Structure formats: C-alpha cells, structure tokens
Homo-oligomer: A and B are copies of this chain.
Amino acid sequence: MRGSTKRKILDLAESLLQRRGYNAFSYHHLSQELGIKNAAIHYHFPTKEALGLQIIERTRDRFSKWTNHPEHRILPTKDQFDWFIKSYQYNLNSDNRVCLIGSLATDYYTIPVSMQSAIHKLSYEVQIWTARLLDSGRQAEELSFKGRAQDKALNIISSLAGSLQLARLLGNEYHYRVVKQIYIDLNLT
C-alpha cells in the first residue's frame, strides 16, 4: 500500500467512482491521468472488481479506525456528529463527489457480487454507529428527537447521501441547508 503508484491509482479511482459512477470510469481514464499505460494498472489491480473492492474496504477501514479510536469515542456527541457531517462535506468540496454508499447503491445491480457484499457491510456499520451515537446522545440530553434512534439514524444518513446528489442539480448551498435542518431537528446547536 505504501507503493506510490498503487496508492495513486486507488485515490484516483475512488475519486472517479464517486464522481462518475462505477460504470463510467475506465482503466483508460486512470492511465491517462496518471501518465502510465493501462497494463500497469492491471499489474496493481488485476481486475476492475479488485480495484472497486479495495476502494470500499479502505473506506470501511477509515470509518472503523476513526469510530473505534479511544480518544474519539469519548468525545461529546456533537463533536462526533460534526466529524460525521464533515466527512460528507469533504466529498462535496472535492469535485462534487457523492458519498461512496450513494454511488454504489444506485449502481448496485450492475456491480460484482463481492462489491455488493462489501458496500452492504459498510452501510450496516455506518448505520449502527450513527444509531448508537444518537441514542446515547439523547440519553445524555445532548440532543433530542422523537421516535426510535435507528429510524432517525437512517433518516439522517439518507438525507446526507441524497443531499450530495441534489447539490449537483440545485447547487452546493442546498447541501448546507439540509445539514442546517438536520441540526435544527436534533436541537443540536
């Protein structure tokens, strides 16, 4: 992974995947942008499936590392939630990428089974973490909402995924408005 070329391929592929979708980026895009030939990419990632899979696994790993870090787990609910929101806005400010889950969910029935399985795991992990954060935050009275924490979590995750997509059509400010509304609805200010 420290191999510079391999990492560059992975970074660029991730970016293209979230900007154009799985079926609309090619080895040619990658090779041209990186100034190498497509055979070189196949050396590092034998198949497109292997490449796609590593993109997902790396994201899972990042998410897991942050959320399981001892120093992060003891942060106030708001700080943890802010971090979560920021991870979406990083995409927005990087060429209007949509989130990985949203991108692969719309391509779901066209991607290899191994990738379906991996993105399923990621979405499950995100959902569990968010639900727990909301639940403990409500118990600690750091925020408030009605209904079940899991339902509210799903509602927020859907909202964030969708708002990155709508931002492409209606402008980036719409994402920020959606986020503002989320904070309002949680009484988290």
Q: Which residues of A contact B (CB under 8 A)?
A: 19-21, 23-24, 96, 98, 101-103, 105-110, 119-120, 123-124, 127, 145-148, 150-152, 154-155, 157-163, 165-166, 168-170, 174, 177-178, 180-182, 184-185
Contacts known (A158-B163, A162-B160, A162-B161); A181 close to B108, Cβ less than 8 A: no
Contacts of A184 in B (CB 8 A): 146-147
Contacts of A170 in B (CB 8 A): 120, 123-124, 127, 154
- Number of chain copies forming the complex: 2
Contacts known (A21-B106, A24-B107); A166 close to B154, Cβ less than 8 A: yes
Contacts of A102 in B (CB 8 A): 102, 106, 162, 165
Q: Which 8 A-B pairs have the closest CB atoms?
A: A158-B162, A162-B162, A105-B165, A161-B162, A24-B110, A158-B163, A23-B23, A155-B181
Given contacts A124-B169, A147-B181, A158-B158, could you give 12 more A-B pairs where the C-beta distance is less than 8 Å? A23-B23, A102-B165, A106-B107, A127-B170, A146-B185, A147-B180, A154-B163, A154-B174, A154-B181, A158-B159, A159-B162, A162-B165
A-B contact pairs, 13 of them (CB 8 A): A21-B107, A98-B105, A102-B165, A145-B185, A146-B185, A148-B181, A151-B181, A154-B178, A155-B185, A158-B158, A158-B162, A161-B161, A162-B165
